Amino acid sequence: MYSLKKSLTQTKKMKKAKVLFVSQEITPYVEANHLSTIGRYLPQGIQEKGREIRTFMPKYGTVNERRNQLHEVIRLSGMNLIIDDTDHPLIIKVASIQSCRMQVYFIDNEEYFQRKSLMTDETGAYHEDNDERSIFFCRGVIETVKKLGWSPDIIHCNGWISAPMPILIKKVFNEDPLFADTKVIYSIFDEEFSPALNKKFAQKIQMTGISDADVKRVKDPTFSNLTKFAIDYSDGIIKGSMKISADIEKHLKASNKPVLAFQDPENYVAGFNEFYNTILEETPALVE
């Protein structure tokens, strides 16, 4: 008798590859910039390449729910996620981009995402709870995908808020049949923040499967260390910005992970799609 994991693997090979996009920003729901434009048009382009997609972003308080026609998905909402010994209700909303027949799922929580800003307050200072917002967002995506019963072949993380996703998939949910064979790709963008995240980030992210040693790198959760942390647990890396810091570049080369160099904004979909093939086929790292 085949195990559930083996049966699921065989089934996935018979179907078109599924890509889960976990994005910090997506236009038109937030202001257009390089990161949000990738968040919007990459999933569409990959869908047009014949892959099945799902797309998630945080439901920031700046997102106009009426204008963008968001509505709560009751069957997916209602779960509580425990972070730092506190329960936080998970609310799932969805909207459609009609021009490309693409749905966007939003992770919402009144405490974390109702403020009228993204990562900084009115003075430009980064929110003190950005560490918890990041953890909540990633865990919320995973729990929602589980409720959907949708098994992604690839999870593509865009933006530092998605940095906890690789270790969660590789250490916490690696035995779940939905994620047992999932590959994780992390895109590095030039979006450095200062000061570092809350010093308790490493403690807060720990769950069954994650040890002290696993999170040693983010005992000091600077942007650089957070990015290295995501690299360590990812299967492939994409340079989302033309320039990244020398410190991160050095770690990336030492990691020996497959890397896709920065792609021309006019033609990146084809490059990303081919990189997905590389990761799924587990071929040697690309030469830049």
Question: Does residue 35 sit within a domain?
Answer: yes
Query: Is the predicted pLDDT of residue 123 greater than 90, yes or no?
Result: no
Query: Is the predicted pLDDT of residue 10 greater than 80, yes or no?
Result: no
Question: Does residue 75 sit within a domain?
Answer: no
Query: Is the predicted pLDDT of residue 4 greater than 50, yes or no?
Result: no
The H or E element spanning position 58 is: strand 52-58
Question: Does residue 112 sit within a domain?
Answer: no
Determine how β-strand 71-72 pairs with β-strand 102-108: unpaired
pLDDT at residue 7 in the model: 41
Contact 22, 185 (CB under 8 A): no
Contact 106, 56 (CB under 8 A): yes
Question: Does residue 129 sit within a domain?
Answer: no
Output 21 or 117, whichever has higher pLDDT.
Answer: 21
Q: Which long-range contacts (CB under 8 A, 24 or more apart) does 71-77 make?
A: 71/95, 73/105, 75/147, 76/144, 76/147, 76/148
Structural domain boundaries, residue 17: 4-60+145-281
Domain count for the chain: 1
Task: Give the separation between CA 220 and CA 235, rounded to whole angstroms.
Answer: 23
> What band does 211 get if pLDDT is binned at 50, 70 and 90?
very high
> What band does 8 get if pLDDT is binned at 50, 70 and 90?
very low
Question: Does residue 93 sit within a domain?
Answer: no
pLDDT at residue 22 in the model: 98
Residue linked to tokens 């609310």: 91
Query: Is the predicted pLDDT of residue 197 greater than 50, yes or no?
Result: yes
Question: Does residue 15 sit within a domain?
Answer: yes
Chain centroid to CA 65: 22
Output 121 or 94, whichever has higher pLDDT.
Answer: 94
Question: Does residue 201 sit within a domain?
Answer: yes
The domain that holds 234 is classified in CATH as 3.40.50.2000
Task: Give the separation between CA 251 and CA 123, rounded to whole angstroms.
Answer: 33
Task: Give the separation between CA 224 and CA 110, rounded to whole angstroms.
Answer: 29
> What band does 243 get if pLDDT is binned at 50, 70 and 90?
very high
Task: Give the separation between CA 228 and CA 195, rounded to whole angstroms.
Answer: 17
Query: Is the predicted pLDDT of residue 5 greater than 60, yes or no?
Result: no
Enumerate the H helices of the chain as residue ranges.
4-14, 34-48, 110-113, 130-148, 165-167, 201-205, 223-232, 246-255, 268-281
Mean pLDDT of the region 51-62:
97
Determine how β-strand 80-83 pairs with β-strand 86-89: antiparallel
Query: Is the predicted pLDDT of residue 262 greater than 90, yes or no?
Result: yes
Query: Is the predicted pLDDT of residue 263 greater than 80, yes or no?
Result: yes
Instruction: Please spell the DSSP secondary structure of 94-120, one letter per residue.
Output: EEEEGGGTEEEEEEE-HHHH-SSSSSB
Looking at residue 122, what DSSP letter applies?
Answer: T
Question: Does residue 46 sit within a domain?
Answer: yes
